[in-house]
């Protein structure tokens, strides 16, 4: 049989005695302190190594939180920036619209005609027919043959009038012709639509005509539709036609219909223009009154 070692009780007593002796020794001498210092130097790297995972986890957690917060802030700032840009675009659009309307009104004062403004509600710019529809009709005393301009120049003339809308034939329509004169020389001719956007032809110019690219064409006042002096087009291309009586000439319209949203309806006979819609009347009476 093997002999048993010291009992648990004996071990506890021995440990307690040793602890007391060490405490007494530590108070009386510096030996224990030196031992503690030596042990601390040995244990310190171990403690640092043990703490590395904890620090790493804390760093990851903090940086993850910071990154998430930064991403959230970035998302909010991006949304705010987009909102501000949208508002700036709206303000810019309003500013441009105000400028356009101001120019529209100012152009009418320059020429001394009476007018009302209207907005486009439909546009047809096909090669065979080019016209627009506006949001005013009989109730505003509009009439067939009435001239139409924008802030830059001539657009066309009214060909149909309805209670709440009117159809305008553009000067670029192949079936439209407008009497014009060269502003530089006073020479009169005819500008005819060719179905091409913002372009008209000048088919009746002899080869010896005093005309050059850049010449401004204005309404001559002949024909009884368009009052005199409205800008129509500017000569853009002159091509000799050997063997033919007339040269080939093209002009770019001053008014750009593809950029037009509002137009002016012109009264050249100084008839008072109603500021408010008139009472409903028959189309025939309205047209006759307007004329």
283: tokens are 């189309």
Displacement of CA 19 from its chain's centroid (Å) = 87
pLDDT tier at 67, thresholds 50, 70, 90 = confident
Mean pLDDT of 155-181: 96
Q: What is the pTM of this model?
A: 0.60
Residue 17: its pLDDT value, please?
67
Q: CB-side exposure of 85: number of CA atoms within 13 Å?
A: 6
pLDDT tier at 23, thresholds 50, 70, 90 = low
Q: How does strand 147-149 pair with strand 130-134?
A: unpaired
Residue that the structure tokens 């190594």 belong to? 49
Sequence-ordered list of residues with C-beta below 8 angstroms from that of 182, at least 6 positions apart, any chain? 189, 210, 211, 215, 216, 217
Residue 65: its pLDDT value, please?
64
First to last CA, the chain: 141
pLDDT tens, 137-155? Answer: 999 999 999 999 988 899 9
Residue 270: its pLDDT value, please?
44
Domain boundaries, the chain: 8-111, 115-290
Residue 90: pLDDT over 60: no
* 3-state DSSP of the chain: CCCCCCCHHHHHHHHHHHHHHHHHHHHHCCHHHHHHHHHHHHHHHHHHHHHHHHHHHHHHHHHHHHHHHHHHHHHHHHHHHHHHHHHHHHHHHHHHHHHHHHHHHHHHHHHCCEEEEEEEEEEEECCCCEEEEECCCHHHCCCCCCEEECCCCEEEEEEEECCCCEEEEECCCCCCEEEEEECCCCCEEEEEECCCCCEEECCCCECCCCCCCCCEEEECCCCCCCCCCCEEEEEEEEECCCCCCECEEEEEECCCHHHCCEEEEEECCCCCCCCCCCCCCCHHHHHHHHC
Residue 15: its pLDDT value, please?
66
Average pLDDT, rounded, for the chain: 78
Mean pLDDT of 65-94: 68
Structural class in CATH, domain 115-290: mainly beta
Q: Which carries the bigger pLDDT value, residue 77 or residue 16? A: 77
Q: Which carries the bigger pLDDT value, residue 248 or residue 65? A: 248
Interatomic CA distance for residues 176 and 195, integer angstroms:
10
Which range scores top for mean pLDDT: 50-64, 81-95, 116-130, 277-291? 116-130
pLDDT tier at 272, thresholds 50, 70, 90 = very low
Give the CA angle between residues 235, 225, 158 to the nearest 5°: 95
Residue 291: pLDDT over 50: no
pLDDT tens, 188-214? Answer: 999 999 999 999 999 999 999 999 999
199: tokens are 């372009």
pLDDT tier at 235, thresholds 50, 70, 90 = very high
Interatomic CA distance for residues 173 and 216, integer angstroms:
20
Mean pLDDT of 259-265: 89
Residue 24: its pLDDT value, please?
66
Mean pLDDT of 268-284: 45
Mean pLDDT of 167-193: 96
Residue 275: its pLDDT value, please?
43
Residue 285: its pLDDT value, please?
34
Q: Which carries the bigger pLDDT value, residue 48 or residue 243? A: 243
């Amino acid at each position: 049989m093997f002999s048993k070692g010291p009992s648990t009780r004996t071990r506890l007593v021995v440990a307690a005695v040793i602890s007391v002796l060490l405490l007494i020794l530590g108070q009386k001498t510096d030996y224990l302190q030196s031992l503690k210092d030596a042990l601390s130097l040995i244990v310190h790297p171990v403690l640092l190594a043990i703490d590395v995972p904890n620090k790493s986890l804390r760093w990851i957690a903090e940086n993850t939180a910071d990154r998430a917060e930064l991403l959230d802030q970035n998302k909010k700032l991006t949304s705010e920036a987009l909102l501000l840009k949208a508002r700036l675009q709206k303000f810019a659009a309003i500013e441009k619209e105000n400028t356009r309307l101001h120019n529209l009104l100012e152009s009418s004062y320059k020429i001394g005609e009476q007018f009302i403004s209207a907005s486009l509600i439909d546009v047809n710019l096909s090669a065979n027919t080019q016209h627009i529809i506006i949001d005013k009709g009989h109730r505003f005393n509009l009439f067939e043959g009435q001239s139409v301009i924008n802030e830059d120049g001539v657009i066309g003339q009214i060909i149909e009038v309805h209670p709440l809308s009117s159809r305008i034939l553009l000067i670029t329509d192949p079936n439209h012709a407008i009497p014009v004169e060269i502003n530089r020389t006073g020479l009169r001719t005819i500008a005819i639509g060719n179905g091409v956007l913002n372009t008209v032809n000048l088919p009746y110019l002899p080869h010896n005509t005093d005309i050059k690219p850049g010449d401004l064409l204005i309404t001559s006042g002949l024909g009884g539709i368009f009052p005199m002096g409205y800008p129509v087009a500017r000569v853009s291309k002159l091509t000799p036609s050997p063997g033919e009586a007339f040269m080939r000439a093209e002009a770019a319209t001053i008014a750009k219909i593809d950029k037009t949203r509002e137009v002016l309806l012109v009264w050249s006979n100084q008839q008072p223009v109603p500021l408010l819609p008139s009472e409903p009347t028959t189309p025939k009476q309205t047209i006759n009154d307007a004329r």
